[in-house]
Amino acid sequence: MKRSDIPDISEETVQIDPRAMELAGLSESVSRHCAIYKAKDRKWYLELANKEYGEYEDSTTYGPFSSEDDAENYLRNFSNPGGLWTDNSGKRPKPKKSPNGRPVVRP
């Protein structure tokens, strides 16, 4: 779709059906905990809250990944979390389970 194909709606209120966005391949940003970090095992892990406005304790851990880029690319499988925290210090221990108590999910 070209920009010229989009009608001028500056004076109208528009509600977009989320199903239409999904069918169009679009996703909306939702605010929730999201972190990518390097652990002591020199591998990278992704923590992502499962629901909008979810906090650290609601998060599932995914990994290990061989690089920060690999973890970031895997994040594309989910809706935009609205922000991302990154720690490349390698000081955090290798996760044994997710913050929400569930197993670490291997990508």
Taking only the tens place, the pLDDT of each residue in 10-23 is 444 444 444 544 55
Kindly state whether residue 101 falls inside one of the protein's structural domains.
Answer: yes
Kindly state whether residue 63 falls inside one of the protein's structural domains.
Answer: yes
For the whole prediction, is pTM greater than 0.75?
no
- CA separation for the pair 87, 74 (Å, rounded): 17
Kindly state whether residue 34 falls inside one of the protein's structural domains.
Answer: yes
Question: Based on the structure, what is the number of domains in the chain?
Answer: 1
- CA separation for the pair 61, 34 (Å, rounded): 10
Kindly state whether residue 1 falls inside one of the protein's structural domains.
Answer: no
**How many Cβ atoms from other residues are within 10 Å of residue 39's Cβ?**
19
Kindly state whether residue 95 falls inside one of the protein's structural domains.
Answer: yes
The pLDDT profile of the chain, 107 residues, written as one tens digit per residue, is: 454 544 444 444 444 444 544 554 445 556 899 999 999 999 999 999 999 899 999 999 999 999 999 999 999 999 889 889 999 999 999 999 999 999 999 99
Q: Quote the domain boundaries for residue 63.
A: 26-107
